[in-house]
Amino acid sequence: MRTQFLPFSPPALSDKEIESVLETLREGIWLSSGPKVKKLEEEFKNYVGAPAALAMNSCTAALHVALQVHNVGAGDEVIVPAMTFSATANVVEHCGGKTVFADVDPETLLLTPQAFEKAITPKTKVVMPVHYAGHPADMEVINAIARKKNIKVVEDAAHCMPSKIGDKYVGSSDNFTTFSFYATKNMTTGEGGMLTGPAELMEQARMLALHGMSKDAWERFKPGAKWEYDVPRPGFKYNMPEIMASLGLIQLQRLNELYESRMKMVRVYDKFFKNFPYAKILATRPGFQSSHHLYVMLLELEKLSIDRNKFIEELTARKIGTSVHYKPVHMMSYYANKYKLKPENYPVSLDAFNRMISLPLSSKLTVQDAEDVIAAVEEICQKYKK
Ligand SMILES: *Cc1c(COP(=O)(O)O)cnc(C)c1O
Q: Please give the average pLDDT of every successive group of 10 residues along the chain, which has 386 residues.
A: 94 97 96 96 98 98 98 98 98 98 98 98 98 98 98 98 98 98 98 98 96 79 80 96 98 98 98 97 97 98 98 98 98 98 98 98 97 98 97
Given 149, 185, 280, 327, the catalytic residue: 185
Angle 59-69/199-208 helices, nearest 10 degrees?
110
Annotation says 185 is catalytic: yes
The amino acid at 75: G
Q: Which of 94, 182, 194, 294 to mutate to test the pocket of ligand 1 (most atoms within 8 A of CB)?
A: 182
State how far the alpha carbon of 202 is from the alpha carbons of 62, 174, 221, 268, in Å.
11, 11, 21, 41
Q: Cis (ω within 30 of 0) for the bond into 162?
A: yes
Residue 108 φ then ψ, to 5°: -120, -15
Question: What is the spatial distance between Cα 80 and Cα 3, in angstroms, rounded to a whole number?
Answer: 42
pLDDT at 224: 78
pLDDT at 226: 79
Phi-psi region of 271 (alpha: psi -120 to 50; beta: other; left: phi over 0): alpha
Atom number, ligand 1, closest to the C-alpha of residue 60: 9
pLDDT at 241: 98
pLDDT at 214: 86
Q: What is the DSSP letter of 110?
A: P
Q: Which residue has the least CA distance to atom 5 on ligand 1?
A: 59
Of 31, 77, 33, which is closest to residue 56 (Cα–Cα)?
Answer: 33
Q: Which helix (H) or strand (E) holds 118?
A: helix 113-119
The amino acid at 320: I
Q: What is the DSSP letter of 222?
A: S
pLDDT at 194: 98
Task: Compute the half-sphere exposure of residue 3: CA atoms within 13 Å on the CB side of its CA.
Answer: 0
